[in-house]
């Protein structure tokens, strides 16, 4: 695979939701989720501008199955803004599972954006909440840094990473997904259709998102 050249003045890394609750043993584990940590740490050496997101839910959040009597995790309900997948309680504000992973090089992040903190609306994307109207402010911050292209890593490919990629494109950024720095949940599709990870990857490809691997990235000066 040809090398992808990183321009420190125009490119940024966004590490999405690299938190213990999404790791094996956490409240909402992503298969092999812990494998992204060393890869993200290596990527941080390539970017002058890097940001992280944290899922940061209040107790009793609308997206928790426990907030809907009789509902099972991974079932769906209609929220005021549309269909919402229900999750096990996870990334509750102030809990160890909501922290950035302790092995992550968090000192390298110029900004950490907390999302999902509004009780009645979920927020997969780093850019736009699930009501599709409320923005997080990340796009403006990136533009203020001169960023024109974002590289995405983290968890989970089929939800927070994928929606961040779609919304970054909507905000006018070029988007690259670092595939070996992401992992997906992979919820089975209905009637034997594509699972949620394959479905999201197809949507990203259709939007023109570039797929890269960490070993193909190079600094412009090297």
Residue in 21, 55, 115, 167 annotated catalytic: 115
Cα torsion 96, 78, 163, 19 to 10°: value is 10
Residue in 17, 122, 158, 167 annotated catalytic: 17
Q: Which of 156, 159, 164, 210 is nearest to 182 (CA)?
A: 156
pTM for this prediction: 0.95
pLDDT number for residue 1: 59
115 belongs to the catalytic site? yes
- 26-48 pLDDT, tens digit per residue, is 999 999 999 999 999 999 999 99
- The answer to whether the Cα torsion of 162, 110, 121, 75 is positive or negative is positive
Kindly state the DSSP code that residue 40 receives in the 8-state scheme: H
Largest distance between two CA atoms of the chain: 57
- 91-133 pLDDT, tens digit per residue, is 999 999 999 999 999 999 999 999 999 999 999 999 999 999 9
* Cα–Cα dist 53/166, whole Å: 16
182 belongs to the catalytic site? no
* Cα–Cα dist 129/112, whole Å: 16
* Structural domain boundaries in the chain: 4-58+90-219
- The CATH number for 4-58+90-219, chosen from 3.40.190.10, 3.40.950.10, 3.30.70.1890, 3.40.50.850, is 3.40.50.850
Residue in 21, 34, 122, 160 annotated catalytic: 160
pLDDT number for residue 220: 82
160 belongs to the catalytic site? yes
């Amino acid at each position: 695979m040809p090398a992808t050249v990183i321009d420190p003045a125009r490119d940024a890394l966004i590490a999405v939701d690299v938190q213990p609750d999404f790791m094996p043993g956490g409240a909402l584990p992503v298969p092999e989720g812990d494998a992204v940590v060393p890869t993200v740490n290596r990527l941080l050496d390539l970017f002058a501008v890097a940001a992280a997101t944290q899922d940061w839910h209040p107790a009793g959040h609308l997206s928790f199955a426990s907030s809907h009597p009789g509902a099972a995790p991974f079932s769906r309900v209609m929220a005021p803004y549309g269909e919402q997948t229900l999750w096990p309680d996870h990334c509750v504000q102030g809990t160890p599972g909501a922290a950035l992973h302790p092995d992550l090089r968090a000192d390298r992040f110029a900004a950490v954006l907390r999302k999902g903190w509004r009780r009645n609306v979920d927020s997969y994307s780093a850019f736009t909440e699930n009501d599709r109207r409320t923005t997080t402010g990340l796009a403006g911050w990136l533009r203020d840094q001169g960023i024109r292209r974002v590289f995405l890593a983290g968890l989970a490919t089929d939800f927070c990473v994928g929606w961040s990629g779609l919304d970054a494109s909507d905000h006018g950024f070029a988007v690259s997904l670092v595939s070996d720095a992401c992992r997906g949940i992979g919820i089975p599709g209905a009637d034997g259709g594509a699972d949620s990870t394959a479905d999201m990857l197809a949507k990203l490809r259709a939007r023109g998102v570039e797929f890269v691997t960490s070993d193909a990235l190079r600094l412009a000066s090297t």
